[in-house]
Amino acid sequence: MSLAPTPARSLPTGWPWLLVLVLAAVVPIFVHNNYLFDVAINVMIFAIAAYGMNVMLGYAGLLPLAHAGFFGIGAYTVGILTLKLGWSFWLAWPLAIVLCAALGLLLGLVAFRTRDDVFAIFTLGVGVIITESINKWDRLTGGNDGLNGIAAPKLGSLDFGKAASFFYLALVALALTVFLVARVRASLFGKSLIAIRGGEDLARSAGINVYTHKLRVMMLSTALAGFAGGLYAVYIGFLGAAITGPSTTFTILLYLLVGGVGTLAGPLLGTLIIRVLQQFIQGLQDYQYVVLGPLLVLLVLFFPAGLAGLWTRLRANRPPALREASDAGV
Amino acid sequence: MLAFENLGIRFGGNQAVQNVTGSIQPGIITAIIGPNGAGKSTFFNLLSGFYQPTSGRVTFGGQDITGLPTHQVVALGVARTFQTTTIYKELSVLDNALLGHRVRTRSGLWDALLLTGRERRERRASQEAALAALRRVGLEGQAHLPAGSLTQEAQKRVSIAIALATGPQVLLLDEPAAGINPEETVNLTRTIRELAASGLTVVLIEHKMSMIMTLADHIMVLHHGEKIAEGSPAQVSRDPRVVEAYLGGHAAPHVQQEFKIDLAEEAARLEGSHE
């Protein structure tokens, strides 16, 4: 991807996103199906969380397995502040994001003394600790009973309790996420992250301060997890500790793998496809995994770079004159 | 300018480098030679802050840089390349060089998110520095190709460009000619000489004797982690300790023989050319 920040160059690369955004924005005018809204909103919330994981795994090459823990911290912060202290969602949400970023920094200060697999296992442990703490801290989090009755936000006369309105809130949040993540990817900071993924020793000898870059991308990642979590809390209205556990982390990781790790479209594509697919095979109940499992195996076998990676590969088959030397440009 | 005193490192029971004292003279090409396992790359890793020495110290321009993390050593002006061609093969040639300039920029996460003036300014500066570095190694025409698609020699040049983009005063090259053919070696030798002529201090590790003898102004010989000789190519090639180090080793006889001829030929040629 070129560094030139001129509008003439960013327009052609950004137009599919604008098209998708406009299409998504006009859909509620014609469709009034609450079930479809529900699927779409869930896709968008978890896609934001997947983008948060992607900046770590896809850009910096670090597997953060405490991701759902931070999603949970964001969600519970919004839940507790609005429910118990009567805060406005519009204040609680930013605070939840800041808190997640700060805790991400703290975790990074310790976790980045490890590398590779050890880092992944370490964060997995932290994820379990977060879930257990939420589960046991009855007075704050409601423990096993969870938090009930978190109110949907209002903005003036706009009531986000209506699915159609919430759809727009989630859409704006997702659009902002994609926009910011794309900016990070094109930045000097983002390029340095790609360098760290490609080889830490070379990055270091090229003069990149690997440690501070990791800390900052960790903060971005946990902030995005909290951003998604806060939205989740007010959409679902109920919080239990289970959503903050490793199984959610691995579900988000699955979205990433299917969509394409390290790509811009991957997190959204993967979340969309898996969640829509799950809607179709829900009727099979316990047997749905018999369908889903082999499908995933086939996908990983034949599209190891995910669906967005498939697109990159197709593009790469065009004559060289048409393509730039770029990776993750989708 | 780059000086080291009693420099040493021990890995468990293995003293890989010990008691190396000396300095790198500015503006010239210094070669570090020695049989396999002599500790040459380890010595480089100590100079560049990759390894922390277990004894001794390193100074640069009078400043103690012992124990500084690599990125700070790079920031002070000491850049290095790796023995195996280490570049970002999936990135463009330009982006590779661009990463080398990162050490001169300060834009962080906020600059990225808000696309600040500093970010824009530093992107332009990085682009210019990267292109300048590519020009110095003769790769400006391939700037937009994926680095992995280049020839082995061109990839070596990319790794040098990354180091050059950091704006170094001292360039440490670890076997720049390993794995490339004789003709390419001649071209690369020319490039390295041009870099030195532009005022850069070059230190290189190399096994190709012909390259060293024509390129180096000064040679330092390591054996079993210790410095055993130092001097001009002609001096070093006649030094009995150097010959002993190479010939007394465990290399196969024909290798020893080749080396002996190599060394003698180069020394003779060198003396001939000076007369």
Q: In chain B, which residue ranges form alpha helices assigned H by DSSP?
A: 40-47, 70-76, 93-100, 109-114, 117-136, 152-165, 182-197, 209-215, 233-238, 240-247, 253-274
Instruction: Give the nearest chain A residue to B48 (CA atoms).
Output: A205
Using a CB-CB cut-off of 8 Å, the residues of chain A touching B120 are 5
What does the alpha-carbon distance between residue A21 and residue A171 come to, in Å, rounded to a whole number? 8
Query: Who has greater pLDDT, A289 or A169?
Result: A169
Q: Does the CB of B46 have a partner CB in chain A at under 8 Å?
A: no
Which pLDDT value is given to residue A318?
55
Which pLDDT value is given to residue A292?
83
CB contact under 8 A, A184 and B122: no
Which pLDDT value is given to residue A280?
86
Q: Does the CB of B270 have a partner CB in chain A at under 8 Å?
A: no
C-beta atoms surrounding A15 within 10 Å: 10
Using alpha carbons, list the distances in angstroms from residue B67 to A249, B48, B104.
38, 10, 21
Domain that holds residue B123: 88-165
What is the distance in angstroms between the Cα of B124 and the nearest Cα belonging to chain A? 8
pLDDT class of A328 with cuts at 50, 70, 90:
very low
DSSP string, B98-125: HHHGGGG----HHHHHHT-HHHHHHHHH
The label of the residue with tokens 């937009």 reads B144
Residue B142 lies in a domain: yes
Residue B47 lies in a domain: yes
CB pairs under 8 A between A and B: 117
Question: B54 and B95: one domain?
Answer: no
What does the alpha-carbon distance between residue A155 and residue B23 come to, in Å, rounded to a whole number? 69
Phi and psi of A97, rounded to 5°?
-65, -45
Instruction: Give the nearest chain B residue to A177 (CA atoms).
Output: B113
Task: Say if residues B95 and B43 touch (Cβ distance below 8 Å).
Answer: no
What does the alpha-carbon distance between residue A164 and residue A29 come to, in Å, rounded to a whole number? 9
DSSP state of B162: H
For chain B positions 77-96, those within 8 Å of chain A (CB to CB) are 79-82, 86-88, 90-93, 95
Question: B137 and B220: one domain?
Answer: no
Question: B173 and B161: one domain?
Answer: no
Q: Are strands B2-11 and B14-24 parallel, antiparallel or unpaired?
A: antiparallel
Question: B145 and B187: one domain?
Answer: no
Here the tokens at position A260 are 């394409």
CB contact under 8 A, A208 and B146: no
Closest partner CB to A5 (pick from B69, B86, B123): B123
- Kindly list the domain boundaries of chain A, sorted by start residue: 15-245
CB contact under 8 A, B82 and A201: yes
Which pLDDT value is given to residue A95?
98
Which of B229, B189, B196 lies closest to B213, judged by CA? B189
Which pLDDT value is given to residue B268?
64
Look up the ipTM and state it: 0.86
Residue A4 pLDDT greater than 50, yes or no: no
Average pLDDT (A169-198) is 96
Task: Say if residues B138 and B169 touch (Cβ distance below 8 Å).
Answer: no
Which pLDDT value is given to residue A330?
42
Question: B96 and B73: one domain?
Answer: no
Mean pLDDT of chain A: 88
What does the alpha-carbon distance between residue B85 and residue A33 come to, in Å, rounded to a whole number? 58
Which of B155, B124, B170 lies closest to B4, judged by CA? B170
Query: Who has greater pLDDT, A104 or B180?
Result: A104
Which pLDDT value is given to residue B1?
85
The label of the residue with tokens 């988000």 reads A252
DSSP string, A226-287: HHHHHHHHHHH-EE-GGGGSHHHHHHHHHHHHHH-TT-SSHHHHHHHHHHHHHHHHGGGGGG
Here the tokens at position B70 are 């690599």
Closest partner CB to B111 (pick from A5, A187, A206): A187
CA-CA-CA-CA torsion for B262, B263, B267, B268, nearest 10 degrees? -50
Domains contained in chain B, number = 2
Which pLDDT value is given to residue B37?
84
pLDDT class of A324 with cuts at 50, 70, 90:
very low
Task: Say if residues A272 and A281 touch (Cβ distance below 8 Å).
Answer: no
CB contact under 8 A, B162 and A188: no
Last residue of a domain, one of B147, B165, B183: B165
Question: B176 and B270: one domain?
Answer: yes
Q: Does the CB of B156 have a partner CB in chain A at under 8 Å?
A: no
pLDDT class of A86 with cuts at 50, 70, 90:
very high
What is the distance in angstroms between the Cα of B107 and the nearest Cα belonging to chain A? 7
Which pLDDT value is given to residue A7?
42
CB contact under 8 A, B99 and A195: yes
Residue A322 pLDDT greater than 90, yes or no: no
What does the alpha-carbon distance between residue A125 and residue A265 come to, in Å, rounded to a whole number? 30
Which pLDDT value is given to residue A40?
95
Residue B111 lies in a domain: yes
Long-range Cβ contacts of A93-96 (<8 Å, 24+ apart): A93/A227, A93/A230, A93/A231, A96/A226, A96/A227, A96/A229, A96/A230
Last residue of a domain, one of B165, B197, B229: B165
Question: B98 and B151: one domain?
Answer: yes
Q: Does the CB of B142 have a partner CB in chain A at under 8 Å?
A: no
pLDDT tens digits along A201-237: 999 999 999 999 999 999 999 999 999 999 999 999 9
Instruction: Give the nearest chain A residue to B71 (CA atoms).
Output: A207
Instruction: Give the nearest chain B residue to A206 (CA atoms).
Output: B100
What is the distance in angstroms between the Cα of B205 and the nearest Cα belonging to chain A? 17
Q: Does the CB of B130 have a partner CB in chain A at under 8 Å?
A: no
Task: Say if residues B44 and B202 touch (Cβ distance below 8 Å).
Answer: no
Which pLDDT value is given to residue A60?
94
Averaged over successive runs of 10 residues, the pLDDT of chain B (275 residues) comes to 92 90 94 89 92 94 93 95 87 95 94 95 96 96 94 94 96 91 91 94 90 91 91 86 72 59 64 50
Using a CB-CB cut-off of 8 Å, the residues of chain B touching A324 are 92, 144
Closest partner CB to A325 (pick from B81, B86, B92): B92
Query: Who has greater pLDDT, A73 or A296?
Result: A73
Average pLDDT (A112-132) is 94
CB contact under 8 A, B74 and A191: no
C-beta atoms surrounding B198 within 10 Å: 10
What does the alpha-carbon distance between residue A268 and residue B71 come to, in Å, rounded to a whole number? 36
* pTM of the model as a whole: 0.88
Question: B191 and B67: one domain?
Answer: yes
Which pLDDT value is given to residue A297?
85
Question: B6 and B104: one domain?
Answer: no
Q: Does the CB of B133 have a partner CB in chain A at under 8 Å?
A: no
Query: Which amino acid is it at B190?
Result: R
Here the tokens at position B6 are 């009693």
pLDDT tens digits along A5-48: 444 444 457 888 999 999 999 988 888 888 999 999 999 999 99
Instruction: Give the nearest chain B residue to A209 (CA atoms).
Output: B71
Which of A101, A81, A99, A83 lies closest to A91, judged by CA? A81
Query: Which amino acid is it at A201?
Result: D
Average pLDDT (A115-133) is 94
The residues pairing with B229 across neighbouring beta strands, listed in sequence order, are B221
Which of B224, B207, B225 lies closest to B83, judged by CA? B207
Count of residues making up chain A: 330
CB contact under 8 A, B109 and A220: yes
Question: B176 and B188: one domain?
Answer: yes
Using a CB-CB cut-off of 8 Å, the residues of chain A touching B113 are 180, 183-184
What does the alpha-carbon distance between residue B226 and residue B21 come to, in Å, rounded to a whole number? 9
Question: B66 and B184: one domain?
Answer: yes
Q: Does the CB of B127 have a partner CB in chain A at under 8 Å?
A: yes
Question: B268 and B193: one domain?
Answer: yes
Task: Say if residues B143 and B92 touch (Cβ distance below 8 Å).
Answer: yes
